[in-house]
Amino acid sequence: MQPWQPPQNIKCLAGVDEVGRGPLAGDVVTAAVILPADHSIDGLADSKALTAHQREALYKEIVEQAICYSVARATVQEIDRYNILQSTMMAVRRAVNSLSIQPDYVAVDGNRLPQWEYAGEAVIKGDGRVEVISAASIIAKVVRDAEMVDFDSQYPGYGFAKNKGYGTAQHLEALKRLGATPIHRRTFSPVSDYLKPQQQALL
């Protein structure tokens, strides 16, 4: 796939990416990043293609060198209320709106944009093709992973530190045995299948 190039005469480009659309638990986390043209960050890539150690090191460089960046989210409650697609678009909007400098153009990883006033475009596989999207991917991944590690101590048995909320065998077994926690997405199958009767009554 060809490298992506922004339109000519763009002075301030923001990249946006999300992490956490697929898990059964936890928020969707988005990041927006504006990098200087002369940054010295080497190794920017799709966060999923990097080791945890590489992501942590790059995270520090991005935070230090970015013109500005922001982190936003859609909560588990919003995901259950509005669905995962609409919640992700909400989180993308929040990330860009939270930047201290408003961009001329926004490149968003994926195949769709929110309804908003910004000029920009969705870039398929942008997290591996556009440096500012790669940087956003890394920021969002590091932030969300750290949150899931914290949740592991709050809700032991589900393996959140390792699976980050995805539906692994350990996670599904714990759901069946322990039921859903407050951070589980109750509208997601199989979480809804494992809800205890008293929890189902609250939906």
pLDDT digits (tens, 9 = 90+) for 152-172: 999 999 999 999 999 999 999
pLDDT for position 195: 77
Alpha-carbon distance 52 to 93, whole Å? 27
Low-confidence residues in the chain, pLDDT < 70: 1, 196-203
Q: What is the DSSP string of the chain?
A: -PPP-PPTT---EEEEEEE-SS-SBS-EEEEEEE--TT--------GGGS-HHHHHHHHHHHHHH-SEEEEEEE-HHHHHHH-HHHHHHHHHHHHHHT-SS--SEEEEESS---SSS--EEEETTGGGT-HHHHHHHHHHHHHHHHHHHHHHHHSTTS-HHHHTT---HHHHHHHHHH---TTB-TTSTTHHHH--HHHHTT-
CA-atom Rg of the chain in angstroms:
18
pTM of the model: 0.94
DSSP string, 5-42: -PPTT---EEEEEEE-SS-SBS-EEEEEEE--TT----
Predicted pLDDT of residue 198: 41
Contact 32, 133 (CB under 8 A): no
Q: What domains can you pick out in the chain, each with its CATH number?
A: 13-153 (3.30.420.10), 156-200 (no CATH)
Which residues make Cβ contacts (< 8 Å) with residue 45, sequence separation at least 6? 127, 128, 134
Contacts of 42 (CB under 8 A, 6+ apart): none
Both tokens of residue 148? 């899931």
Spatial separation of the C-alpha atoms in residues 7 and 58, rounded to whole Å:
27
